[in-house]
Chain A
Amino acid sequence: MIEAASSRATPFPPNWLARIGLLALALYVVYACSTLDITWARFVEGLGHAPRFISRMLPPDVAPDKLQLLRHGMIESLQIAILATVFGIALSLPLGLAAARNLSPGPLAWLSRTLIALLRTFHPVIVAILCVKAIGFGALAGVVALIVASMGFVSKLLADAVEEMSMQQVEAVHATGAPFLSVIVIGVLPQVMPRFVGFCAYQLDSNLRNSALVGLVGGGGIGATLFTAFQRFDYDFVLTIVLAIVAIVMIGEIVAGWMRSLFQ
């Protein structure tokens, strides 16, 4: 009996590779902190500046001319977000379907997957910088940047949703002799619609937040107003803008939740 027990493999063998990996990671974190001058003392010193900064922000600036600027920037940001969402979703639908390997022929699916991967490579801010350089300052650059981001996100998730749908339902529609587009409309879309609406709602939400970001790099909207306020040290106006962005994002989240609940 005892012999048998000792010759049996231990049920939880030590994973030396994982241990060495974790140790290496810990060592690297210490090393990186030292090279980047990240120390506790530096952090505490930095904290001292915070109260001064905050006191300069209060109270938020609500002068009529500032509110006019705020309103103008906000409306532009909303337009950027909504346009980018509408065009982004419209383009994502065909791209996502083309990328689904259970619907489209191999080479097309592969090509679409590659395009989606490219669209997703860079953060929206980096895409926005490229767009500003290519198209020029202003809302158009912001819209294009967010369309790219929307397509990357929505079409990838749509393709995955289509690949997970029930092929039995699609098969039955095929068997009636329906043309390809009717198969999509009747057999595929009803299956993926709730999830698709969910992705779109999330993307609208996300575009609202990111529309402020793309403005910081010249893509128009409230981000541009915010950037100018920072540069002019108008910290009280900065606070007004930040509060307005928070409000818009929260409203966006409520709208998105409501859209999702409509399509259950």
Chain B
Amino acid sequence: MDASAPSPPAATGLDRSLVIRRLTKHYRAGAPVLKNITLTVEGRGVTAIIGPSGTGKSTLVRCINRLIDPSAGEILFLGQDLAKLHGRALRKARRHIGMVFQEFNLVERLSVIENVLTGRLGYVPVWRAWLRKFPAEDVDRAFRLLDAVGLSDLATRRADRLSGGQRQRVGIARALMQHPDLILADEPTSSLDPKTSVEIMELIARRAGEHEIPVIVNLHNVELARRFADRIVGLSKGEIVFDGPPHRLEDTHLLAIYGGEGWLE
């Protein structure tokens, strides 16, 4: 069983780039949410996707790890087309992609450390998960990650007793626990106050940078995107209308992305 095999080396030199080709998604026929998106994300750095609510940011990110099934197109990552995977192959591919959620999505009744170890579920057999007999090196690493996100003294606290910022830190540790080759973050700061939002984005950018893991993050806060992203992709009505480094993002682009104008003054 390869379920107990060691995780692939955190390969420097491994190509972690993501190529999306002609990605289309419609929930109802004739009303596409994503229209023919083509996007190449290099295997490092933070790529922020900005755009108005309901424009398909979330759908785009969720198509990558197939929490949502795309209607058409290709998603090439680590040498395979994620859009074509099913069952076991899809689960194996998902192990390489960590995800951070807007509502944190921790298992509320489990402890912090159990939530972090959830990141290993793709590698440990079911009976180990059931009995909480995770391999010692996984447990060690989970504690180190809790240290790294600043929660070392809360390991045994139940997730439903944490504050929003603490929960998101657990969410980040869970994603890192996967030894991911890509981190997806779906509005990771939208449920947090401004100060905590900055701290969380800092944490994601720093930890991902250390391990050279590329990050794709949805943000509706343009300032956060400017501050932490190496590249900004502007999405409007299911299409890419801006793509470039933060310093090139100007008001005219924001108008194209969000429409209207009064709000810019």
In the bound complex, what is the Cα–Cα distance between A171 and B103 (angstroms)? Answer: 11
Q: Which residue of A168, A178, A191 is within 8 Å of B121 (Cβ)? A: A178
Residues of A within 8 A of B178 (CB): 176-177
Is A178 a contact of B118 with CB atoms below 8 Å? yes
Residues of A within 8 A of B114 (CB): 186
**Which residues 187-234 of A sit at the B interface, judged by CB distance below 8 A?**
187, 190-191, 193-194
Interface flags for A143-181 (1: CB within 8 Å of B; 0: not) read 000000000000000000000001011011111111101
Q: A185-B130, A186-B107, A190-B109 are in contact. Are A176 and B67 (CB under 8 A)?
A: no
Is B105 a contact of A179 with CB atoms below 8 Å? no
Q: Which residue of A168, A172, A194 is within 8 Å of B118 (Cβ)? A: A172
**Which residues 62-112 of B sit at the A interface, judged by CB distance below 8 A?**
65, 67, 91-99, 101, 103, 105-110
Q: Which residue of B lies closest to A169 (CB)?
A: B107
Residues of B within 8 A of A169 (CB): 105-108
> Smallest CB–CB gap between A214 and chain B, Å?
34
Q: Which residue of A lies closest to B101 (CB)?
A: A172
Residues of A within 8 A of B10 (CB): none
The yes or no answer to A182 lying at the interface (CB within 8 A) is yes
Is A175 a contact of B91 with CB atoms below 8 Å? no
Is B67 a contact of A182 with CB atoms below 8 Å? no
The yes or no answer to B126 lying at the interface (CB within 8 A) is yes
Residues of B within 8 A of A177 (CB): 91-97, 121-122, 178
Is B126 a contact of A187 with CB atoms below 8 Å? no
Is B118 a contact of A181 with CB atoms below 8 Å? no
In the bound complex, what is the Cα–Cα distance between A182 and B94 (angstroms)? Answer: 14
Is B121 a contact of A171 with CB atoms below 8 Å? no
Residues of B within 8 A of A187 (CB): 107
Is A191 a contact of B107 with CB atoms below 8 Å? yes
The winner among B94, B98, B121, B126 for most chain A CB atoms within 10 A is B121
Number of residues from A at the complex interface, CB < 8 A = 22
The yes or no answer to B238 lying at the interface (CB within 8 A) is no
Is A168 a contact of B105 with CB atoms below 8 Å? yes
In the bound complex, what is the Cα–Cα distance between A218 and B239 (angstroms)? Answer: 73
Residues of A within 8 A of B118 (CB): 172-173, 176, 178, 186
Residues of B within 8 A of A173 (CB): 107, 118, 121
Is A186 a contact of B101 with CB atoms below 8 Å? no
The winner among B94, B103, B129 for most chain A CB atoms within 10 A is B129
Is A178 a contact of B101 with CB atoms below 8 Å? no
In the bound complex, what is the Cα–Cα distance between A176 and B124 (angstroms)? Answer: 12
In the bound complex, what is the Cα–Cα distance between A178 and B99 (angstroms)? Answer: 13
Residues of A within 8 A of B25 (CB): none
Is B109 a contact of A175 with CB atoms below 8 Å? no
In the bound complex, what is the Cα–Cα distance between A174 and B122 (angstroms)? Answer: 9
> Smallest CB–CB gap between A263 and chain B, Å?
10
The winner among A169, A173, A175 for most chain B CB atoms within 10 A is A175
Q: A176-B95, A177-B94, A177-B95 are in contact. Are A182 and B107 (CB under 8 A)?
A: no
Q: Which residue of A174, A185, A194 is within 8 Å of B129 (Cβ)? A: A185
Interface flags for B225-241 (1: CB within 8 Å of A; 0: not) read 00000000000000000
Residues of A within 8 A of B105 (CB): 168-169, 171-172
Q: Which residue of B103, B109, B129, B174 is within 8 Å of A191 (Cβ)? A: B109
> Smallest CB–CB gap between A176 and chain B, Å?
5
Residues of B within 8 A of A194 (CB): 109
Is A186 a contact of B110 with CB atoms below 8 Å? yes
> Smallest CB–CB gap between B109 and chain A, Å?
4
Q: Which residue of B65, B101, B126, B171 is within 8 Å of A179 (Cβ)? A: B126
Residues of B within 8 A of A186 (CB): 107, 110, 114, 118, 121, 129
Residues of B within 8 A of A175 (CB): 65, 67, 94, 97, 99
**Which residues 148-174 of B sit at the A interface, judged by CB distance below 8 A?**
171, 174
In the bound complex, what is the Cα–Cα distance between A181 and B127 (angstroms)? Answer: 9
Q: Which residue of B lies closest to A178 (CB)?
A: B121
Interface flags for A100-141 (1: CB within 8 Å of B; 0: not) read 000000000000000000000000000000000000000000
> Smallest CB–CB gap between B3 and chain A, Å?
8
> Can you give 18 A-B contacts (C-beta < 8 A)?
A171-B67, A172-B101, A173-B107, A176-B94, A176-B95, A176-B98, A176-B178, A177-B94, A177-B121, A177-B178, A178-B121, A178-B129, A182-B121, A183-B121, A185-B130, A186-B114, A191-B107, A193-B109
Known contacts A177-B94, A186-B110, A190-B110; 11 additional CB pairs below 8 A are A168-B101, A169-B108, A173-B121, A175-B65, A177-B93, A178-B91, A178-B122, A182-B124, A182-B129, A183-B121, A190-B109
- Point out residues on B near A: beta carbons under 8 Å: 3, 65, 67, 91-99, 101, 103, 105-110, 114, 118-122, 124, 126, 129-130, 171, 174, 178
- Point out residues on A near B: beta carbons under 8 Å: 166, 168-169, 171-179, 181-183, 185-187, 190-191, 193-194
